[in-house]
Amino acid sequence: MQFLIAAITGLAVGLHNSTWGMYKDSPHEGFTWPKYMRSAIAGLIYGPIIWYLFGLDMYSFAHIAVLFGATYSAERATMEIYKTFLREEDQSKYFIPMQLSVFGKPVESRKARLTAFVFYVGGIILICYGVYKLNAAYHAGQITWSPWWLLFICSVGGWVSAFGGAWKDAPLEGFETFKFFRSPGVSYFYAFLASLLTNNLMLIALCSIGFTIASIETYKTFFFPNKPRGKFAGKPILFPEMLEKRKKFVPLYIGIWLFVIVSIVMGLMSNPNGLINF
């Protein structure tokens, strides 16, 4: 049963990602079920893996919420790394290239992109290893840092997102101070929220960036539905019928958010052993 709950939670993550992505992109790219289900399948795989690796209790609302945030982070990292470094696609349809670019120009050399892929993934692995060792040292009593300083470290994903976004977007859109600091600020808030649900620093770090992406993409997608994504700025709408058809997926999206919010609230009410307790 716990495996099933973990799988359903992972599926919810994937459908959440698929829906906001489809909602923004489909008027420009059209809609296909295989593309829509890609993230759903990834979430379905990652959910049980993360549940097993961290020994989460799927009968706990707190752990369900934590699993959602951590799986969100893993799914997004996988898809964005694939699109940036590995996928071969015509970039002319984009205003902002989705492929690895330098000063707004896509890197055509596959060898160069694969080299960058190795260094980028290696950097992520080193960050994760550092947080893992920090978690072990903290719980072994080897360090006595303030929880608030630990949360700053756990929100490192927000800074990675900020620098990555600036590298990709700023050469074509210009640098926006608020936009740059938005992800670090939101990720610190979610690191704090996750710290009320778990005391595992790795899970807090994963939830921090996972919930940050979910929230910011929801804001950009559904609060400004008629504003095209930056990557399609100035590009024509080739599939105008999707402006109406995409609305059929909104109830599913809202349902998933309600599932997450209820899990967080119930998790907080159950007073779990979090990093921070009031």
Within the chain, where are the H helices?
Answer: 2-29, 33-54, 61-81, 110-139, 147-154, 156-173, 177-195, 201-222, 242-245, 250-269
Mean pLDDT of 2-16: 97
| Residue ranges covered by each domain of the chain | 2-269
Q: Which amino acid is at 166?
A: A
Residues 213-229 have pLDDT tens digits of 999 999 988 887 777 66
pLDDT band per the 50, 70, 90 thresholds, residue 99:
confident
| Cα 261 from Cα 255, distance rounded (Å) | 10
Residues 168-212 have pLDDT tens digits of 766 766 677 777 788 889 999 999 999 999 999 999 999 999 999
Mean pLDDT of 23-29: 91
| CB contact at 8 A, 231 and 99 | no
| Cα 91 from Cα 215, distance rounded (Å) | 27
**Residue 211 neighbours by CB under 8 Å, 6+ apart:** 69, 72, 190, 193, 194
Mean pLDDT of 19-27: 92
Give per-residue burial for 171-202: e unless 16+ CB within 10 Å, then b.
Answer: bbbeeeeebbebbbebbbbbbbbbbbbbbbbb
Phi first, then psi: give them for residue 101, nearest 5 degrees: -135, 160
pLDDT value at position 157?
Answer: 83
pLDDT value at position 60?
Answer: 93
pLDDT band per the 50, 70, 90 thresholds, residue 87:
confident
pLDDT value at position 227?
Answer: 72
| Cα 200 from Cα 69, distance rounded (Å) | 13
pLDDT value at position 215?
Answer: 95
